[in-house]
């Protein structure tokens, strides 16, 4: 079996999310190739795991990898926000992990145009059965919409310049491959920018990928949904890889950790003045220097964890 992705912050995730009682349920909300799940199943022999993924191809790899654990592990082909919104299981989870990173598998093996270093069809959908592709975004969005997307989701300061170059090119030739787009971006930016610390297409590719998979919208949805489903006393851990994600997680956890979480328009507190969560990581947990040496993509990972202290309220849409 060809495993190409190394799960980040394994020991740190285990320290925070290891079970504290026998027979607990762990939900791996972004299972990928199954690295985190394999660690938990190997170390805790009565733990049950449910793994979610929107990508059928990578889920098949996880299924093969975790086959030795038999019925202790189950698989659901779905987006994590949709799963938690209509939580289908009889038992509430004790631990939930959301690793928001894109697997190395997608860059090296998917053939879906995530990487700007090879010539692949410009797709970038994790679930290639639905939704707009990267090709659709690049060729069909108007120039302002494209520039705003690249600036807001990629934090790319040359977004207008890049969007203008894309629009000029697509008038002549439809942009259909990842290498075609990468070379176009490279030619659109100043020489000094081409030879900077990162490839000049990095932020634009990030922005398009985030847009295609609705990553920030799904994150905003899933945080409350997962917290609703989690058992009181359970823990939710989220690993982020860029500032937009980390900022959203930090602010959500901070809000849920306040003594009162009532809407500001209410004249008086109705929640009892008790925080919904205890924020266990006042600062994000980051990889050690040794992990970064062994696995360079881990360098931008940040782990934040909360423990649920009380119910948020009735779960929406579930009796």
User: Which residues line the annotated binding site for S-adenosyl-L-methionine?
Assistant: 34-36, 53, 80, 99, 106
User: Under a CB-based contact definition with an 8 Å cutoff, are residues 133 and 111 in contact?
Assistant: no
Comparing CA positions, the residue from 214, 140, 150, 146 lying closest to residue 176 is 140
- Rounded to whole angstroms, the Cα distance separating 48 from 70 reads 10
DSSP structure class, residue 70: G
Q: Which residues pair with 304 in a beta bridge?
A: 238
Residue 8 DSSP class: S
The 3-state DSSP class for residue 169 equals: helix
Annotated binding site: 34-36, 53, 80, 99, 106
Which residue is listed with tokens 């919904």? 276
Expressed in angstroms, the distance from the first to the final Cα of the chain is 42
For residue 289, give Cα distances in angstroms to 44, 284, 292, 293, 299: 27, 15, 5, 6, 9
* Cβ pair 78, 215 in contact under 8 A: no
* Rounded CA Rg of the chain: 21
Q: How far apart (Å, rounded) are the C-alpha atoms in residues 186 and 203?
A: 12
Structural element, H or E, at residue 238: strand 235-240
Q: Measuring CA to CA, which residue among 103, 166, 179, 101 is closest to residue 137?
A: 166
């Amino acid at each position: 079996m060809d495993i190409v992705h190394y799960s980040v912050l394994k020991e740190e995730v285990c320290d925070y999310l290891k079970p504290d009682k026998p027979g607990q349920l762990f939900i791996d909300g972004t299972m990928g190739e199954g690295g985190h799940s394999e660690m938990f199943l190997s170390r805790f022999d009565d733990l049950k795991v449910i793994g979610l993924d929107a990508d059928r191809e990578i889920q098949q790899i996880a299924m093969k990898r975790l086959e030795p654990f038999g019925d202790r592990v189950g698989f659901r082909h779905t987006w994590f926000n949709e799963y938690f919104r209509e939580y289908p299981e009889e038992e509430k989870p004790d631990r939930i992990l959301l690793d928001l990173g894109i697997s190395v598998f997608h860059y090296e093996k998917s053939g879906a145009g995530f990487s700007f270093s090879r010539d692949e069809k410009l797709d970038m959908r994790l679930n290639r059965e639905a939704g707009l592709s990267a090709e659709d975004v690049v060729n069909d969005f108007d120039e302002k919409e494209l520039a705003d997307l690249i600036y807001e989701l990629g934090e790319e300061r040359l977004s207008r310049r890049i969007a203008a170059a894309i629009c000029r090119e697509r008038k002549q030739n439809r942009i259909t491959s990842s290498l075609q787009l990468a070379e176009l971006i490279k030619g659109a930016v100043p020489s000094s920018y081409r030879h900077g610390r990162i490839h000049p297409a990095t932020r634009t590719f990030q922005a398009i990928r985030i847009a295609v998979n609705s990553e920030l919208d799904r994150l905003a949805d899933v945080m409350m949904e997962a917290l609703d489903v989690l058992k009181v006393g359970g823990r939710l851990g989220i690993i982020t890889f860029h500032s937009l994600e980390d900022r959203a997680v930090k602010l959500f956890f901070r809000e849920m950790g306040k003594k009162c979480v009532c809407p500001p328009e209410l004249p008086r507190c109705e929640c009892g003045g008790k925080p919904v969560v205890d924020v266990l990581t006042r600062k994000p947990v980051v990889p050690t220097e040794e992990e970064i040496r062994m696995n360079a993509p881990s360098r931008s990972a940040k782990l934040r964890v909360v423990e649920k202290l009380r119910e948020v309220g009735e779960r929406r849409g579930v009796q």
